[in-house]
Amino acid sequence: MTVPLGAFVAVSAVLFFIGTAGVLVRRNAVVILMCVELMLNAANLALVAFSRRFASIDERGSVFVIFIFVVAAAEVAVGLAIVLSAYRNRPTVDVDEIRQLRG
């Protein structure tokens, strides 16, 4: 008895929902970055599940996962750099306080 594909997709959807809720609810920029990583990971889980359960697509899904790894690493590096430089201009990481660009 193997776990059905739908169960993996359901877990992925729940994790994505948690990440989205975190991005919308939390005000700390670093926590928002963490929640974005959770969302990316949920997408990875869905991609791997589909790629492994449909043999006709062979490893394409896993290749996409590797590219998502690359993009996630780049995103977190640049994102943290932006948070740090914003903190240097104004000593806060609260995204409600960082609004110099608001008209």
- Binding interface with other proteins (CB under 8 A): 1-3, 7-8, 11, 14-15, 18-19, 21-22, 25-26, 28-31, 33-35, 37-38, 41, 44-45, 48-49, 51-53, 58-60, 62-63, 65-67, 69-78, 80-85, 87, 91-93
Nearest CB to other proteins, comparing residues 88 and 99? 88
Q: Which amino acid is at 38?
A: L
Q: How far is CA 34 from the centre of its chain?
A: 7
Alpha carbon separation from 82 to 33, 43, 86, 94 (Å, rounded): 11, 24, 6, 13
- Rounded to a whole number of angstroms, the minimum distance from the CB of residue 89 to other proteins is 11
Nearest CB to other proteins, comparing residues 32 and 103? 32
Please state, as a whole number, how many other Cβ atoms lie within 10 Å of the Cβ of residue 11: 15
Dihedral sign for Cα 11, 17, 20, 24, please.
negative
Nearest CB to other proteins, comparing residues 67 and 102? 67
Nearest CB to other proteins, comparing residues 85 and 99? 85
